[in-house]
Structure 1
Amino acid sequence: MTPLQTILMSGALTVGVLTAQTGAAFADVNNIVLVHGANVDGSTWREVYDRLTAEDYRVTIVQMPLTSTEDDIAAVQRIVDVQDGPMLLVAHSYGGVVISEVGVDPDVKGLVYVAAFQPDVGESGGGLLASNPGEFSPDMLTVFEDGHYLIQEDGFLSVVGNGLSDQDAVFVARSQAASNVSILEYEIKSAAWADKPSWSVIATLDRTITPDLQRQMSERAGSTVVEIENGHMLPMTNPGDVADVIRQAAETVE
């Protein structure tokens, strides 16, 4: 970790400690919307949710259908529409594609990307993966006639689930939500991070979205960066660290 990254991480943790003492009452934004990635559901956010709600943040977790990115955008937009004020959008993995579009909503004041795609206009998740390949590969997929796919268990455990306990990795692999291959091909039409503050939590041991790709996207976006030494499933492996960054963002945005 570079000295700058160390300072950033230290600052994020310090803010987390201070916020834990003061709670959400002093935050500029109290509403937080959490968006999961592909092939999983909102339960991956449970430990982050518990930490934030304990401090009186109003946290809502979206359940996306994963049938198409258009359907996922609509699902997130519905939750955005029922919030009672300004909010943060927080996404893991593929969810970054979705919040990059939904984030243009005027009530969204900032975006937090957690081991996530942070695409620019015209880019897709699949295209970004191809530009900087990790260990995730098409031969790890079982694709069905209707266009949905599952990640084969061996591939899920070794690539997506690295950093999880063996028990948790097997559970997540065997409770997958089938996703449509079209979500990897969807090219976004707007990039909310171009006009709004953003944070990027980089998983330095990620085998799915490479750390270098995460750094490239966050640098381009001018995001505030925090690096965490673990694999792709940071909301589950490092919920306290992730919650700290979300608190920092909630206190920073206007």
Structure 2
Amino acid sequence: MRNAFRKGKRFITGASCAAMLSVMSAQAVAQPIKNIVLVHGAFADGSSWAAVTERLQNMGYHVSAVQNPLTSLDDDVAATERVLARQHCDVLLVGHSWGGAVISQAGNNSHVRGLVYLSALAPATGESVTDLLARLNAPMSGLTPDAQGLVWLDDASQFQQVMANDISTRNVQALAAVSQPIALTAFQGKITHAAWENKPSWYLLTENDHALLPVVQEKIARQIHATVYSVNSSHLSMVSQPDAVAKFIDTAAKSFK
């Protein structure tokens, strides 16, 4: 797709490579990444990755999409770790939106070689999503929980306005129908160690995002010293721009060769 996404300033040059010991020497040999694990955000489920999954599989990758319970940071990290445990070699871990907080913690897994953030949150060590957004002068607002403490975005009109302003109404209705609520307290869960502090990261900035404003995304990307690309997309770039997102993930994975 011509001009589907654009590369921004590179904050990290090069990447750490996994190594295996030779019988004769300790020479490190770079290994390409073939496993991609995708972590969805709030108000979504693993099916939001369907179009990107198909494209990555066609490129030869083994792809797994996590189904987050969205009940707490710890619960979502545990769900991601269960999927990581099933991978037989190194992984590129990808998180969208709230999923960025999840991969920032789960990314400490030894199989994870790099982190990819799609319009995602990336709290620092000791920080929650609520803390992060307050520090960036973008405090959370308009999130009213129900009696069970869950926040919903299942009204198709609101869903389109916030998440999917470049997606057809018909498709938005389908997305809203499977939209999953998130526990408001999940945003208060703190990262014990942010994996992006010692692993290479990439960030896809969505320029027409009404859920996480581009200026906030840019601050997050700079904080994590990411290699940054941008795409003219709503918050749900994996749905509206699957070709661009798949190419972006492929670019990150190939940087390890």
- The 5-angstrom pairing of residues 1-254 of structure 1 reads 6-8=6-8, 28-130=32-134, 131-133=136-138, 137-138=141-142, 141=144, 143-151=145-153, 153=155, 154-253=157-256
The CA distance in 2 between the partners of 1:228 and 1:27, in whole Å, is 29
Instruction: Call closer, same or farther: CA 1:121–1:115 in 2, change over 3 Å.
Output: same
Aligned-CA RMSD value: 2.1
Instruction: List structure 1 runs of 4+ shifted beyond 6 angstroms.
Output: none
Instruction: Call closer, same or farther: CA 1:106–1:208 in 2, change over 3 Å.
Output: same
What is the CA-CA distance between 1:138 and the residue it aligns to? 1.7
Q: 8 Å contact 1:38–1:177 — kept in the other structure? A: yes
Per the normalisation by structure 2, the TM-score is 0.84
Max Rg structure: 2
Q: 8 Å contact 1:199–1:224 — kept in the other structure? A: yes
Can you give the 5+ residue segments of structure 1 that lack an aligned partner in the other structure?
A: 10-25
Report the 3-state secondary structure (helix = DSSP H, G, I; strand = E; otherwise coil) of the residue aligned with 2:230.
Answer: strand
Report the 3-state secondary structure (helix = DSSP H, G, I; strand = E; otherwise coil) of the residue aligned with 1:138.
Answer: coil
Report the 3-state secondary structure (helix = DSSP H, G, I; strand = E; otherwise coil) of the residue aligned with 1:199.
Answer: strand
State the identity %: 35
What is the CA-CA distance between 1:253 and the residue it aligns to? 2.6
The CA distance in 2 between the partners of 1:155 and 1:223, in whole Å, is 31
* Matched length: 231
Paired letter, 2:188: E
What is the CA-CA distance between 1:176 and the residue it aligns to? 1.4
Q: 8 Å contact 2:124–2:132 — kept in the other structure? A: no
The CA distance in 1 between the partners of 2:102 and 2:223, in whole Å, is 18
Cα shift readout 1:224-252 (whole Å, capped 9, x = no counterpart): 10010111001101111111111111111
Paired letter, 1:226: Y
Q: Which has the larger helix fraction?
A: 1
Per the normalisation by structure 1, the TM-score is 0.85
What is the CA-CA distance between 1:56 and the residue it aligns to? 1.5
